[in-house]
Amino acid sequence: MKCPHCTVSIHAAWNAKSIVYHTAATPFSYRSMVCPACSKWVIELKHDQGDWNLVEPPAMARGPIPPEVPKTIAVDYLEACKVLPVSPKASAALSRRCLQSMLRAHGYSAKDLAKEIDLLLAETDASKAIPPSLRTVVDAIRNFGNFSAHPITDVTSLQIIDVEPEEAEWCLEVLEECFDFFYVRPAQAAKRKAELDAKLASAGKPQSKG
C-alpha cells in the first residue's frame, strides 16, 4: 500500500481491534499503524460488515498538482483525491471525467470516453503519441468495474460504477502521469526553447526551429 501521508509504498502492518458497545446496533473495528517512512499514524475505521474508511489522515495525500494543469481539471482531480477514502466509486467517476476533459482538450473527442481512449491510442503523430508505459495504464482503465459496458458520455460522465479501492487509486495515478505528459513536459520544452532563443538572439543568431 501507499502511505496516505507521504505516498511512499510500504508494507501494511496493521494493529486491528474490535469495539463493541452494548447500546450500538452493530460493532465496529479500527486498525492503526505507523508509517515506517514518515512515522505518521494511519488509522482506518469500519462497521461490522462494511469497508475500511480512512480517518487519519482525513483524506488521501498526494503530490501537489503542477501549476500547468488547467484549473477545471485540477478541481476534479482534487475532489477525486478527497472522496477516495469515503467512496472509491465516486473517486473513480471523477477521475474518468478528469481524463475525458484532458483528452477532449487535446483533440480526442468522440461520443463516449471509451472511444476517446481509442483515438488517443491510435494517434499516428509521433510528436503527440503517448509513451508505451502510459498507453498500458490508460487502456487498463476500461477494464475497471466492467467499464466497457458503461459508456461514459457527456450525460453520464459522473456515472457510478463498482470499482475496487485499488482501482480508484490507480485512476489517480494515471491522471498524474497524464498531467506530466500533456501539460508539464510541453511547458518545460517551451521554456527551454525560449531560453535557447534568448541566448541565440543575444549572440545575433537566428532562433531555433520547431
Reported as a single tens digit per residue, the pLDDT across 64-116 is 788 999 999 998 898 888 888 778 888 888 888 899 899 999 999 988 888 88
Q: What is the mean pLDDT of residues 140-147?
A: 65
Specify the pLDDT at position 53. Answer: 77
Q: Beta strand pairing status for 28-34 and 53-56?
A: unpaired
Question: If you classify domain 71-184 with CATH, what class do you get?
Answer: mainly alpha
Q: Where are the domains of the chain?
A: 15-56, 71-184
Question: Does the pTM of the predicted model rise above 0.85?
Answer: no
Q: For residue 128, what pLDDT band results from cuts at 50, 70 and 90?
A: very high
**What confidence tens digit (pLDDT) does each residue in 16-71 have?**
887 765 555 667 788 899 999 889 888 888 876 777 877 777 655 566 788 999 99
Residue 82: CB partners within 8 Å, gap ≥ 6? 59, 60
| Per-residue confidence band for 183, with pLDDT thresholds at 50, 70 and 90 | very high
> Which stretches of 49-144 are DSSP H helices?
71-83, 88-105, 113-121, 132-140
